[in-house]
Amino acid sequence: MQSTDVRECSIARTLDLVGERWTLLALRELFLGNHRFEAIVRHTGAPRDILTTRLRKLEAHGLIARSLYQERPRRYEYRLTPLGESLAPVLTVLREWGDEHLAGPDGPPATFTHSCGAKLEAHVTCRHCGEEVKASAVRQAAP
C-alpha cells in the first residue's frame, strides 16, 4: 500500500462548502442584493435543482438564512448571515484576480466602488505588521 502525504487544511474544508461554481455564484448574487430564488437563477444561469441543493447546504451550514415572504405559493428569500457576510473579502479578491488575469479585451464586465466612493481594490495585509501578504512571505507554523 502506498502512503500519501495529503495535507489537511482549511482551504480544502472551505472548498468542500463553497468551492463549487453555482455556490459561489449564488453567494455573489446575495452579496449584490438579489435575495429571491428567481433572481438568483436568472443571474447565475444555475439549474434550479442544483441551485436549490446549494442554497440548502449554505443554510444548513449557517451562511444564509431563509425567510418566507409569500404563503401561496410558498416562496422564500435568502439573506446572508454574519458568517456568510464574512466571505465578502474572499469573493472580492477572487473577482479582482479574475478582472486582472481573465478579463477580455473590453476589460472587466463590472466595476465596484466602496462606500467611500473610490473604486474597490482589495488589499490583503498582515493584521500584525501591516505588510502586504505575498506567497513568498507566508510560512506554515510548526504544529
Angle at 13 between CA 9 and CA 15, to 5 degrees: 115
19-22, Cβ contacts within 8 angstroms, sequence gap of 24 or more? 20/54, 22/46, 22/47, 22/50, 22/51, 22/54
Instruction: Answer yes or no: is pLDDT of 2 > 70.
Output: no
Average pLDDT value for the chain: 93
**pLDDT (0 to 100) of residue 143:** 75
> Which residues lie below 8 Å from residue 49, measured CB to CB, with a gap of 6+?
none
Residue 1 pLDDT greater than 70, yes or no? no
For the chain, give every domain's residue range. 10-137
In this prediction, residue 61 has a pLDDT band, given cuts at 50, 70 and 90, of very high
Residues 111-126: tens digit of each pLDDT: 999 999 999 988 899 9
The torsion angles phi and psi of 38, rounded to 5 degrees, stand at -60, -40
The SS3 of residue 77 is strand
The strand pair at 64-70 and 75-80 is best described as: antiparallel
Q: How would residue 48 be classed by pLDDT, with cut points 50, 70 and 90?
A: very high
CATH number for the region 10-137 comes to 1.10.10.10
Find out whether 18 and 59 touch, Cβ atoms under 8 Å. Answer: no
